[in-house]
Amino acid sequence: MASNSTPLVNNTLNSIAYNYAIDSPQIWAYINCTNSSGTSNFTDNYTIEIDATPPTTPTLANQSNGATWINLGMGSCIDSGSGVAKKLLYRNTTNIVNLTTEDSYNDTGLSEFTYAYELSCLDNVGNYGSNSTTLLANTSKITPPTEVPVPPRNQSATQPIGNAENITYVHPSHLVKGETVKYTPTSETHCIKSTCVATLYSVQNFIQDTQGNWKHMGEIASLTYSGNILNISWNKRSILLQPYIIYNGVYTDQLQGYNFSISYTNFVEYIKFRPRIKFVDGLTEFGFKKVSWSNDEVVVNFDDLAANNFEVTQNETHISIRNLEGRVSSNEMLELDPTITLNESNSGNVGDSFTNSSDTGVNYGTLQYLSVRSSNAGDVRRIFLLFDLSVIPSSATITDANLSLYMFVAPTNNRTYNANNTSNSWTETGITWSNQPVTGTLQQGITITLNVANIWKSWNVTNAAVSSYAQTNKNMSIMIKDGAETASTARFAMFVSKENTTDTSKRPQLIITYVTPPTYSDNSTSSTSANTNVEHRLKWQSETGLSGYIFSFCNGTYQKTTITPNPTTTYTFLDNTSNNAYWASPVNPITSPAGGTQATAVQYANMSLNDSSFARVLGDATTNDDPYWSMNFTINETTASINWINVSLGGFKVLTGGSEAATCYVFNWTSASWLSISTLGTTPTIISSNYTAGIGDIVNASTKVLNVYCTGAQFDLNEGIYLDFVSVVVNSSNTTYSTANCSDANAVLTNDSWVAMTGTLDWSNVTKMITSTEGATVKWCVYANGTANEWNSTSCVNPFSYITTAAPPPPTYSENSTNSTLAGTSIEHRLRWQDVNGLSGYIFQFCNGTWNGTNCLGLAGWGWSSSLTTWQYRKSHYILTASGANVNYEVQIIVINGIGTDSGNTVYINNKARSDFGDIRFTDSNGALLNYWNEVLNSGVNATFWVNINGNLTSTNQTIYIYYGNSGATTTSNGTNTFPIWFDDFSTNTISNYTVDGGTWAIDTTNGWLNQSSNGAGVYQIFPTSLNIANVSALTRVKEPSSGFDNGVTLRSASSSVGVWFQKAASAVDIQNPVNTVKNSTTAIADDGNWHRYRVEMNDGEAWWYHDDNLILTYSGSFTVSSGSCSAFTWAAGVSSVPWAFDYLAVRNFVYPEPAHSTWGAEEPQTGWVNDTWTAFASGMCSSPYTDCWSNVTKLVNSTVGANVSWCVYANDTNNNWNMTSCVTPFTYTTAGVQPTISFTITLPRGGTNYSSSDSLPGTVTGDIYFNITLGYQTNVN
């Protein structure tokens, strides 16, 4: 230690301070004072204890709580040095109290809220311990007394019978502000519409006031059932408060729909409604609750309501029931769906009459009756009725219509009377039998019972009403007639007409039920600022109930589709020397007729364009023949751009007798069948066919060929087919895509998914992040639907729009600081945020000690592969040894680009790879790249890889890494390097590397396939010439031409006499030897014409057969292949025109058992940055509104002294404007060592006694202080 160069002043009190970074109980000191003449005196030794360790972290618990207090339990903390001085309790980051020995604290004077508490300890030399884990505690809410009854559970109900209707009641919310309603049931038993509820309850009312006091208000309501009437009674306070109910064993205490029916007898004449309950408590509109309709009716006498101090009013659409006592602060509404009855009194029935076949010119429109009559002797009568439907709202949708006539004279025999719609061109005073409209579509026929009169008879005429309502004049005409009106015996019935004055209530009625679509209002947006989240609001209402909506949106720009018609192109077959760029060449037909004769080249050359110069093909001179023409047209457009194709031909047939047909076709490449154009006659004829659909069927996708074929069967000598021309006309268009502004009148809006709505009033409030461009046009609209499936799309005819304004500024920050830089301690990182619009939240980012001034070093500085420094993530994988695996063993890894649990050979990479998996890499434990091959790729979903392990898996378990997360990477998949034994993906013509053993094998380098195209029965093999194998696995991918064909893979000796055949046969899947001795087999796998992967394995006499990674078959026996080859083979018993295709052939090492896949490591990021989750600003961070807040985050810092720590914060406001600038140049600091201050006072003794202030030593006195840091070691400090 350096000497103290400043002498201490004699005879004064002096002190010297020194800092230590560690605890030590072994420090002792003494002072040596020397005067100018060299006389010295030493003090006694002083022992000094250094305490640099903070107290331990205490525990904190919520012991109990009340409405305004929380009682906290506090654990003890320990300090082995200077001892604990006090405990510090924080509430919402504020130190509220300091305690000493207490083990609990009662925090009082609180509001109803959630509070955050932390506890820490301080020792006697000033060391602060870490804060306890944050404890969230709530003040309790006021609870009702225990005597409030609890509804019973576990009730039961019988099964509904017949036309039963379930009745589920609901309870409301508050009666008035500050009051809560509770119900308790008392037992009763009722049956409602044949549904017996075992325990149906009456209702008891409890009211809780704002002070939490409960009062029993007596019984609210009861239910009785008799005579098909459900009687509901209530007291004056509780109008329309619905009871709880137990149904089917379920206790219902939530707002739900309920079902019942009501018939109102005191409405405007002939108007009926479907009920809906709407609750209003004076502050909040709860919405309507759905009610279903039933033919049964429940009568409610509204006169009784008036007698009990309730006001009942009605209008066209609803009934209002108001409690005049004043306890309900606004109307309790019974909202109704309209069912309108059209009759003479409301001008709905504009005409009725009947006609008579005996008096064909007589009109009966002014009579007070209507008549239907059947007879075979004349006097047949028919009724006609005309209704004006224009009184129904224009936006309505008709759901039901019933025509009712009052019959006062019945026929004397049972009859069937039919209702048919007719034209509406007749008038009431002008219609006669002679000019009556013709009978239209039958609506309904009903049975009229003999001699039963003075009753209403009804016909359902919904279809006629719907179609008539859609017409301009909206008049509906219905005819009623006897179903057998020419019967031998005359029968008739008479009905009341609209002119009847005896009882006007019995006039004809058309009862129409309709629904109207939802209506909208109050459209608005929360903002128009660019680059912000904007809420788009629209209020929807429906009398029948809302179902949901679809939001549609154009965010500044959209993808514009432009279709440009191309000139129509005509492809013609004229002669064989044409220079036409679209020449069609004569070819053999797809299927040649047996023994048929094709037109010769000369005959093809003699064709001309529709000039009556016909070329001909005749039958041969010896036998019946099938003459034919066949022409290929190369269509020089893409099939997707073709709108239509017209094929036309000019020709005729020549017959010397008989009736042979000459038919022309177009070939369907998809179904391998012929599509007939038409047949040729015996005189010159032009036939044609137009194709607007299935263009891809008649134009080959790869060759672009359209084939036209004309043929006839069994033509005799000198009979034949003559053609003048064949023409193919193609109409196509080009489609281009461009980006256009939403201000375009034809802007396309993008639909969101369906969102449900409830009740009869709801909002479609949708928040969208708006384009960042200022001055852009944004358009939006909403399609809404009601519960009766009635859509309103009018807002999307002329969408709402606005112009984006300048985006508000993002939040700003200041006052960054930390409360310490001490290594290994919890440090608070403080940043103050401000925003005029209100702050939303933040994300804290932290680099704990690996900041190098530019980057936060993660694993890149600790073992990350030097070849993959731009990759963002990796996972480790442990593979266990297996006997015989050795080096360069290939293992399968399945990579899923999703979230899941890694196991076996399957790893999940959390949606962080490219969709084509081109950024997947594998390394060994030292970071060296491993060879791999991508066998299977499902874009964006998963991929299967084979990885060549470079370590010795016989002797040592191997750790490998999978790397991912590089959007700019492309695949380095290489099968040849991965499978050193053999690999061929047939991307080049390598046929010379194989020995062919039967069949026609060729490599299609365009598609990268090995094809075998021989037809007929036989086994055809191909195998690598120079390959020698023992214990191996072979992989291939095969596409079969059609059903009924065999294929597979063999592992065989060079002589073909020994080996294993893995065969997918038409009848079974089997493993057999080369002489067809089946060793094991299983059920056949159906051919489907698709690609399938085969994997076969053989080791020491055992064999395994996989189909698409599924183990199909095994065998353990006498197979031995010490050397030999692997072959692909096919076998066919029939004929196929489509070749087999093999996509690749790979051979790898194989041992059994294979090296086992063990554990996977956690995902390791390449960077050392760690992001916290998003944290919302809340009270405690700032006061409301949140315009000035602190993002104070405490982190345990790296324990290494001198480590470089970096941190920053991303913050956003309520408009979703982000400030990320602090993370461009992060805040940094270097961790420091622990520096407790040690102070002590030493007095100098003199010969056993201390010097006093009056004592002096001659000359200047200097002092030496000696510290023994560790026993046996002494340091001199001046």
| Sign of the dihedral through C-alpha 464, 467, 468, 469 | positive
Residue 7 structure tokens = 């002498």
The Cα–Cα gap between 152 and 167 comes to: 19
* pLDDT bracket for residue 716 (50, 70, 90): confident
Query: What's the pLDDT score for residue 801?
Result: 95
In this prediction the pTM is 0.43
Sequence-ordered list of residues with C-beta below 8 angstroms from that of 785, at least 6 positions apart, any chain: 517, 518, 546, 547, 548, 549, 791, 792
The Cα–Cα gap between 530 and 534 comes to: 9
Percent of the chain with pLDDT over 70: 67
pLDDT tens, position by position, 210-238:
344 444 444 434 444 444 333 433 332 22
Domain boundaries, the chain: 18-52+1238-1277, 60-138, 180-337, 343-515, 545-556+741-803, 575-584+592-736, 812-855+1168-1230, 870-968, 982-1159
Residues 258/247, Cβ–Cβ less than 8 Å = no
Sequence-ordered list of residues with C-beta below 8 angstroms from that of 755, at least 6 positions apart, any chain: 548, 549, 550, 551, 764, 766
CATH 3.50.50.60 is right for the domain spanning 60-138: no
Calculate the average pLDDT of the chain. Answer: 74
The Cα–Cα gap between 746 and 559 comes to: 11
Q: Which helix (H) or strand (E) holds 621?
A: none
Percent of the chain with pLDDT over 90: 30
Residues 677/687, Cβ–Cβ less than 8 Å = yes
State the DSSP code for 467: H
Q: 46-50 — which CB contacts under 8 Å span 24+ positions?
A: 46/1240, 46/1242, 48/1238, 48/1240, 48/1267, 49/24, 49/25, 49/81, 49/82, 50/20, 50/22, 50/23, 50/24, 50/25, 50/1236, 50/1238
Residue 1208 structure tokens = 């920053």
DSSP string, 1126-1139: EEEEEEESS--SS-
Residues 85/123, Cβ–Cβ less than 8 Å = yes
CATH of 343-515, one of 3.20.20, 2.60.120, 1.10.150, 2.60.40: 2.60.120
Residue 5 structure tokens = 């160069």
Residue entry with tokens 């695949």: 971
- Residue 785 pLDDT greater than 80, yes or no: yes
* pLDDT bracket for residue 520 (50, 70, 90): very high
**Per mean pLDDT, which of 93-102, 243-252, 273-282, 568-577 is the most reliable?**
93-102
844, 848, 851, 854: CA torsion to nearest 10: -20
Question: Strand, helix or coil at 952?
Answer: coil
Residue 1015 structure tokens = 């037809």
Look at the domain 812-855+1168-1230 and name its fold: S-adenosyl-L-methionine-dependent methyltransferases (2.20.130)
- Residue 533 pLDDT greater than 80, yes or no: yes
The Cα–Cα gap between 761 and 886 comes to: 73
- Decide the pairing of beta strands 755-756 and 546-555: antiparallel
Summarize the confidence of residues 1237-1254 as an average pLDDT. Answer: 43
**Per mean pLDDT, which of 321-325, 569-573, 833-837 is the most reliable?**
833-837
Closest of 874, 845, 821, 694 to residue 1220, by C-alpha: 845
Look at the domain 870-968 and name its fold: Immunoglobulin-like (2.60.40)
The Cα–Cα gap between 547 and 938 comes to: 38
CATH 2.60.120.560 is right for the domain spanning 982-1159: yes
Q: What one-letter code names the amino acid at 1238?
A: I
DSSP string, 106-169: EE-S--SSEEEEEEEEEETTSPBPPPPPPEEEEPPPP---TTS--------BPPP-SS------
* pLDDT bracket for residue 1123 (50, 70, 90): low
Sequence-ordered list of residues with C-beta below 8 angstroms from that of 860, at least 6 positions apart, any chain: 869, 1166, 1167
Widest Cα–Cα separation across the chain: 165
- Residue 1230 pLDDT greater than 50, yes or no: yes
Calculate the alpha carbon distances from 378 to 355, 430, 482, 488, 939 in Å.
12, 21, 13, 10, 79
CATH 2.40.160 is right for the domain spanning 575-584+592-736: no
- Residue 1112 pLDDT greater than 70, yes or no: yes
Question: Which of 148-162, 623-637, 1256-1270 bottoms out in mean pLDDT, i.e. has the lowest?
Answer: 148-162
Summarize the confidence of residues 364-386 as an average pLDDT. Answer: 94
State the DSSP code for 991: G
pLDDT tens, position by position, 736-781:
878 899 999 889 999 999 999 988 888 999 999 898 889 999 999 9
Secondary-structure class of domain 545-556+741-803 per CATH: mainly beta
Residues 766/552, Cβ–Cβ less than 8 Å = no
Calculate the alpha carbon distances from 251 to 144, 169, 170, 243 in Å.
20, 11, 11, 12
The Cα–Cα gap between 621 and 1230 comes to: 107
Q: Which helix (H) or strand (E) holds 647?
A: strand 642-654
Residue 561 structure tokens = 């589709």
Same fold, 60-138 and 545-556+741-803: yes
The Cα–Cα gap between 43 and 1265 comes to: 10
